[in-house]
Structure 1
C-alpha cells in the first residue's frame, strides 16, 4: 500500500533483515452514556471499517507475524474484525501499556518484539500512534508523511519499513513510511 493504495517496498540502509511495522488506529468507536473510555465499543462505522482495514492489509501482503493490541474494547474489536481476514488469524498479544501510550512508550513496547518477527502490527490509539509514525519515519514515499501530519483518523494504516538485526535497534528517523491509507467499509 502506498499513499495511493498500491503495494510498495522500501527501507533505510542499515544492517539486518528487512522489518515492517504496521500501525493501525482502532476503528470508529461509539460513545454510549456512562461507559468508561476503556470499555467503549465500536460504532456502526467502525463495524464496517475494521473489516475493510483487514482486507486492505491482506491485499497489500501485510500479514503480521505478531499483532500487539491495546486492551481497550474498541482496539480489541478492531483487531478481531481485521484479523479475521486470515485463517487462522495472526497471533495477538493484548497489552495494557498500549492504551493511552505516547510515542516513547509505544516504541519501548515495539522494541520488546522477538527477533523472529519480521512484520509487527500495532493496534492502538491516537495521539500516540500518529506521534510514533512521525517519530520513526525519516522519510516517506509519495505524500504519505504529509497525510499523517494532516490527520491519522480512525482505521488509518501506516506501514513503516526498516532494516535491523532486532527490534530493539529501531530508532527515531530510521524507518521509511511506505504508505498511509484509510480503508472505509461499504
Structure 2
C-alpha cells in the first residue's frame, strides 16, 4: 500500500456513561448511552469506511460503546484495547497513533474527552464543507465521532496534516 493513498482516522467518543459509586475507569454506560452507541455504530457503517484496526480505551464505558457499535459494522476490525487511551491528551494520542503499522489504512479510536475532541481539532488543518463549523457548534458530546483523512505514514501524523471529512453527533 502506498502512503499516497489517504488514510482515515475516526475519533469516536464513548457514549453517555452512568455515575454509580465506582472508580471513574469502571463507569458503565447509561441506558441512553447504550442506545446512542448502537446508533453511532450504524452511522459509522454508513460512512463506508472499511476499518482495519480499532484502538479502544480499557475503560468500561469505552469497551461497552465499542461492543455495541461494532455489531452494526459490516465487518469486525482487529481490536486492540489500549490502557494509554484512558485520559490521554491529544499529544499522547498522536504518539500512540504514530505507532500504528503502515499496513493499517483506516483506524477507529474509541476514547475520551477532552483528548478525542482536541485531537480532531488539532489534526484538522482543513475541512470539507461545514464539518468544522458543525463540530465547533455541537462540541463533541458522548457518542460523537469525527473522520479525519491524511496522506502520509502513521509516523508522520502531526497537528494540521489532516482534513476533517465528516462529523456526527447524536444531537445533530
Band of TM-score, shorter chain = over 0.9
- In the other structure, the counterpart of 1:94 is 81
Mapping of residues 30-109 of structure 1, within 5 Å = 30-32=18-20, 34-86=21-73, 88-109=75-96
- In the other structure, the counterpart of 2:128 is 141
- In the other structure, the counterpart of 1:178 is 165
Unpaired segments of 5 or more residues in structure 1?
Answer: 1-14
CA deviation vs aligned residue, 1:33-52 (integer Å, no higher than 9, x gap): x2110000000111101011
CA deviation vs aligned residue, 1:36-87 (integer Å, no higher than 9, x gap): 1000000011110101111111111023110000000000010111111236
Report SS of the residue matched to 1:154: coil
TM-score (ref. length: structure 2):
0.93
- In the other structure, the counterpart of 1:168 is 155
Displaced runs of 4 or more, over 6 A: none
Is the 1:138–1:172 contact (alpha carbons within 8 Å) kept by the matching residues of 2? Answer: yes
- In the other structure, the counterpart of 1:128 is 115
TM-score (ref. length: structure 1):
0.86
**RMSD value, Cα:** 1.3
Find 2:12's aligned residue among 10, 13, 24: 24
- TM-superposed CA distance for 1:167, in Å, is 0.5
Mapping of residues 2-13 of structure 1, within 5 Å = none
Unpaired segments of 5 or more residues in structure 2?
Answer: none
Report SS of the residue matched to 1:147: helix
Is the 1:66–1:91 contact (alpha carbons within 8 Å) kept by the matching residues of 2? Answer: yes
Query: What is the total number of aligned residue pairs between the two structures?
Result: 168
Report SS of the residue matched to 1:67: strand
Equivalents in 1 of 2:50, 2:69: separation in Å? 11
Which is bigger in relative contact order (C-alpha 8 A, separation at least 6)?
1
Report SS of the residue matched to 2:102: coil
